[in-house]
Amino acid sequence: MSSPKIELVCPAGSLPALKTAVDNGADCVYLGFKDATNARNFTGLNFDAAQLHTGIDYAHRRGRKVLLALNTYPLARNWADWTTAVDRAATFGVDAIIMADPGLMQYATRAHPRLRLHLSVQGSATSHEAINFYHEHFGIRRVVLPRVLSLAQVEQLAAHTPVEIEVFGFGGLCVMVEGRCALSAYATGESPNCHGACSPGKFVRWQERAQGMEARLNGILIDRFAAGERAGYPTLCKGRFEVNGETYYAIEEPTSLNTLALLPELARAGVTAIKIEGRQRSPAYVAQVTKVWRAALDMLALDAGHFAVQANWMTELNKVSEGQNHTLGAYYRPWK
């Protein structure tokens, strides 16, 4: 029994990562400009005009798609930066723009009516009513669901919308509803929803002390690492804090989402695309993860009835998982 083909959408934080994703079997790559218009606005990431032109040409020559993340929220003072980014994306010939702001969607539909629009996870649409609103008013063709829905909720949602459903399948987790988190803004004064970076690098400081290596965000102690302990990037939700005299990961433990075991159920639920998180990760990470998911999706498409997660797939993915741990996240809530 075959299964409808599910697209594999892979991260491209750089041109080498884009080429690696395409070469290892990605159906689509997603990327951003080198500015605050995307939600991974970090130094050294993303694409300038020349790189984007080269990347689109490389992908299109091989029959793959390029999706541009334009998924932060403009302010009144910088609205023109975002509309200019929409115009640039249309001129370059991207296959779709991933958007969150309704006003910007309206601009895109009026200025470039043939441009395909996807609703970003930053749009925080968690009901079919919300998704259908974006579809009816702005012609949204696909939605990327936040990582807070159970499998049953995804299935119920997909049954009540004509919009394609894309879900995160692997990578870093966010315990917040994307687009609504204010933790980084509270600590730094810069909202990731508007400036494009959770825990911006300019606020991060590392300092070696007698107790260990300390990581601070705008002066706030996020974590302390012992000698030889692998140090994570200081984000508030993944820090260790002292609570009632005990120090532990009070909000979220380092772990990665891994939904390989749920692929047949996601396919039956009507999922159109699986998204891999990690635009901030290396081309080596992209290669490793893309290979595994390509093999898994090919097996699913060939014979969904006999699909089985291979041990070597899990071994390879655990090597690049946060804390070398994985979870089914919110998808697996059998009581729902």
Task: Output the DSSP codes for 36-59.
Answer: TTSS---TT-SB-HHHHHHHHHHH
Output the pLDDT for position 153: 93
Measured distance CA(97)–CA(204) in Å, rounded: 31
The total of structural domains in the chain comes to 2
Q: Are residues 206 and 143 in the same domain?
A: no
Structural domain harbouring 106: 7-173+255-331
Output the pLDDT for position 236: 86
65 assigned to some structural domain: yes
Output the pLDDT for position 91: 97
- Across the chain, which has 336 residues, the per-10-residue mean pLDDT values are 82 98 98 95 93 98 98 95 97 98 98 98 95 98 94 95 97 76 86 86 91 92 88 84 89 86 95 96 96 97 93 93 77 65
Measured distance CA(135)–CA(123) in Å, rounded: 13
Output the pLDDT for position 326: 81
Q: Are residues 67 and 25 in the same domain?
A: yes
Measured distance CA(158)–CA(36) in Å, rounded: 31
Q: Are residues 135 and 79 in the same domain?
A: yes
The residues near 232 (Cβ < 8 Å, ≥ 6 apart) are 215, 223, 238, 254, 322
Output the pLDDT for position 2: 54
Q: SS3 sequence, 99-141?
A: ECCHHHHHHHHHHCCCCCEEECHHHCCCCHHHHHHHHHHHCCC
| Share in percent of the chain as helix, strand, coil (round to 5) | 40, 20, 40
Q: Are residues 261 and 235 in the same domain?
A: no
179 assigned to some structural domain: no
